[in-house]
Structure 1
């Protein structure tokens, strides 16, 4: 069960980092676009695997959203990514 807790904590940090990318004026447009595309894919009714198929439909949303977020983070300069991760880690530890 503790692995699920760690997974949820990691997921929360990734979402906070995505939000920080969208809000930071130093983030390149490509990173912001990939972040928005990740969010849109997750909430979109159009999927590669329909959500009507239990578990697989949700997994495809999560996996593609996660991969798009990782792509967005690759577009960030290393020092900006490090700075945003430190800020997110500080907020996540404060709660």
Structure 2
């Protein structure tokens, strides 16, 4: 069970990095910022599909729905933007080391 949750966390973390890159990229789609704002409002909103007052089900819908929406948003990104993310991952932005 812990391995599955760890793998899910790794996937979500990678998807969030891709979305963060896409937000800063000049060729980002117009719909991306409103979609992420709407997702953030859903996460913070007291209005839910299943209220959080229901002991376990209130959190389970957020744990399932939010990663699914994040993955869907990443899948809707243009191919060029995803390719730019892969290229940016391969480059190293480390400062030059001065040897004395």
Using structure 2 for the length normalisation, give the TM-score. Answer: 0.68
Consecutive unaligned residues of structure 1, counting only runs of 5 or more, are 91-95
RMSD after superposition: 2.6
The structure that is helix-richer by fraction is 1
Q: 1:27-46 to 2 correspondence within 5 Å?
A: 27-46=28-47
Structure 2 unmatched ranges of 5 or more: 92-100
Q: Find the residue that maps to 1:73 and give its secondary structure.
A: helix
Aligned mates of 2:8, 2:90 — CA distance in 1: 15
Decide which structure has the larger Cα Rg and report it.
2
Offset at residue 59 of structure 1 (A): 2.2
Distance 1:86 1:63, change over 3 A: farther
* Pairs aligned (count): 91
- Asked if the contact 2:52/2:58 (under 8 Å) is kept, the reply is yes
Identify the residue that residue 21 of structure 2 maps to in structure 1.
20
